[in-house]
Chain A
Amino acid sequence: MSSEAREIICIICPVGCRMTAVRDKSSPSGFLVSENQCKKGETYGIKELTNPTRVLTTTVKIKPGIYNRLPVRINGAIPKNKIFTCMKVINKVEVKAPIKIGSVIIKNILNTGCDLIASRSMKAS
């Protein structure tokens, strides 16, 4: 891990603070994050350097819904480097309508501890 300062754009909220994060042995977390406007940004900055995660939103096939696809989301954040593997797993799924918002479609996806859930309710067509 490089000791150089890294520019990180915070994605926690729409402000999108342009922060700088760098290793800092003297700080309790081991990192120093600056130019964040709130604590959430600091947490995010540190996370980006140690274990970057992302919220994944996508769609799955649904039959016989009023549309061909059901929007879904991961109810947490998964490691950034698992995104495409996750997509491959999610793409194989076909859900049956009707379905309620929040229903678990894949439990503990790829052992991340997060579930893939329905992002909306959809009636059968």
Chain B
Amino acid sequence: MAAAIEAKKHGAKSVCIIERDKELGGILQQCIHNGFGLHIFKEDLTGPEYAERFIDELKEAGITYKLDTMVLDISEDLHLQILNTCDGFMRLKAAAIVLAMGCRERTREAVNIPGTRPAGVFTAGTAQRFLNMEGYLVGKKIMMLGTGDIGLIMARRLTLEGAEVRAVLARRGYPGGLMRNVAQCLHDYDIPLMLRHTIVKIIGKERVEGVLVARTDEERKPILGSEELYECDTLLLSLGLIPENELSKGAGVKLDPATGGPVVNESMETSVKGIFACGNVVHVHDLVDHVTDESRRAGKSAAYFVRNKLKENGPLIKTEPGKGIKYIVPHLIRVDNLNKSLQLFMRVKEVYSNSRLIVKADNEVIRKSRKMHLTPGEMDNIRIDAKILRQEKPAILSVQVKREEE
């Protein structure tokens, strides 16, 4: 929605949102908790409240949208195949496309939990939809594997609706989601957080009856002999999100294996000209506010692209994740398209306390940022003055982590 609004604002004449659900808002409609909009609106909003702000603005801007409509295919030359019950099957041609398909959840199979395959194993997001929109409980006695934010939120949510969450397990020595969620979802409700534990077997013939819990070693591998049986009727999995890029792949968009999403430049344009991407489909975000920032950039750029205002040639900088950095978005920077500054988004590979993020233009350090606490579960960002980039004209812009004592 943010991309569409911004595209319209910046001169795109016809903008259409294609949404597969029966209403606008996407995943926000099931995120009924608060914590959204602290940066964008300076208010503490719930997911639906945040979404409704954009829905209202969208409707006021006269942007068209198709609901209950699925995009079946996107081609490299910007042809789309879409389907819904009213218009039927359609082929469209776009002047520019913005991809904002979000993520899917990591499944049990992706982490290979052996055992039986009974009913009662849910990913946190699916359980969230059942609970918050359809109004169904998914179980009464719940074990959770994974400490992503969605899981932590659901642990609280399920407890509030009368279920017993027996424990939340983290395979690593630290939780995957934000510490504030550990505090207000687990600590507040006395839900045990078991770090360095995992599930090695699912038990139950037709419905989950229990799980075998084992301790893990430094490589997150289960320690043989440490297995303990926990009785439960539900296993909730919050093992992380995977950007959903099947459509992107079909269009020939180049993906970064480190993010799972498209390689993008400063305008959020992908490797295919005219196809832009923003939000969770590019990389998994923690804050919707950053998603909105990114999406506005993509929408504006898409409009500029259509109006031939994006500068395609000129100095090009490649960003390079250095020591301790898993990935940096954007991957490429066309300096001529920058305004005053550029925000680099990144995630670290492990936990760092009391360290510095060091930004280098080729071999020269241009920025040092002190960070008390860096963890893979929380996205970081660093703002770089565009002037420096225009001056230095580096080929590579790298970021690395350096511990204070080094």
Q: Which residues of A contact B (CB under 8 A)?
A: 8-16, 18, 54-55, 57-59, 61, 66-69, 71-73, 80, 83-84, 87, 101, 119-121
Docked CA distance A80–B190 (Å): 13
Q: Which of A57, A61, A121 contacts B135 (CB 8 A)?
A: A61
The answer to whether B178 touches A14, judged by C-beta atoms less than 8 angstroms apart, is yes
Between A and B, 5 residue pairs with Cβ closer than 8 Å are A11-B183, A16-B179, A55-B34, A67-B133, A69-B135
Docked CA distance A72–B132 (Å): 10
A13 and B52 in contact (CB under 8 A), knowing A67-B133, A67-B134? no
Q: Which residues of B contact A (CB under 8 A)?
A: 22-23, 29, 32-35, 38, 44, 46-49, 51-52, 131-135, 157, 160-161, 178-180, 182-184, 187-188, 286-287, 373, 378
Docked CA distance A54–B157 (Å): 14
Shortest CB–CB separation between residue A112 and chain B, in angstroms?
Answer: 16
Instruction: Name the residue in A14, A67, A69 with the highest tally of chain B Cβ atoms < 10 Å from its Cβ.
Output: A14
Docked CA distance A9–B188 (Å): 11
The answer to whether A80 touches B48, judged by C-beta atoms less than 8 angstroms apart, is no
Shortest CB–CB separation between residue A102 and chain B, in angstroms?
Answer: 9
In the complex, the chain B residue whose C-beta lies closest to that of A71 is B32
The answer to whether A71 touches B48, judged by C-beta atoms less than 8 angstroms apart, is yes
Residues of B contacting A67 in the complex (Cβ-Cβ under 8 angstroms): 133-135
The answer to whether A11 touches B22, judged by C-beta atoms less than 8 angstroms apart, is no
In the complex, the chain B residue whose C-beta lies closest to that of A88 is B162
The answer to whether A9 touches B48, judged by C-beta atoms less than 8 angstroms apart, is no
The answer to whether A54 touches B188, judged by C-beta atoms less than 8 angstroms apart, is yes
Shortest CB–CB separation between residue A11 and chain B, in angstroms?
Answer: 4
A120 and B48 in contact (CB under 8 A), knowing A57-B33, A66-B23, A67-B133? yes
Residues of B contacting A55 in the complex (Cβ-Cβ under 8 angstroms): 34, 44
Instruction: Name the residue in A8, A12, A69, A120 with the highest tally of chain B Cβ atoms < 10 Å from its Cβ.
Output: A120
Docked CA distance A58–B44 (Å): 15
In the complex, the chain B residue whose C-beta lies closest to that of A60 is B135
A9 and B34 in contact (CB under 8 A), knowing A101-B49, A120-B29? no
Residues of B contacting A8 in the complex (Cβ-Cβ under 8 angstroms): 183
In the complex, the chain B residue whose C-beta lies closest to that of A59 is B132
Shortest CB–CB separation between residue A121 and chain B, in angstroms?
Answer: 6
Shortest CB–CB separation between residue A39 and chain B, in angstroms?
Answer: 15
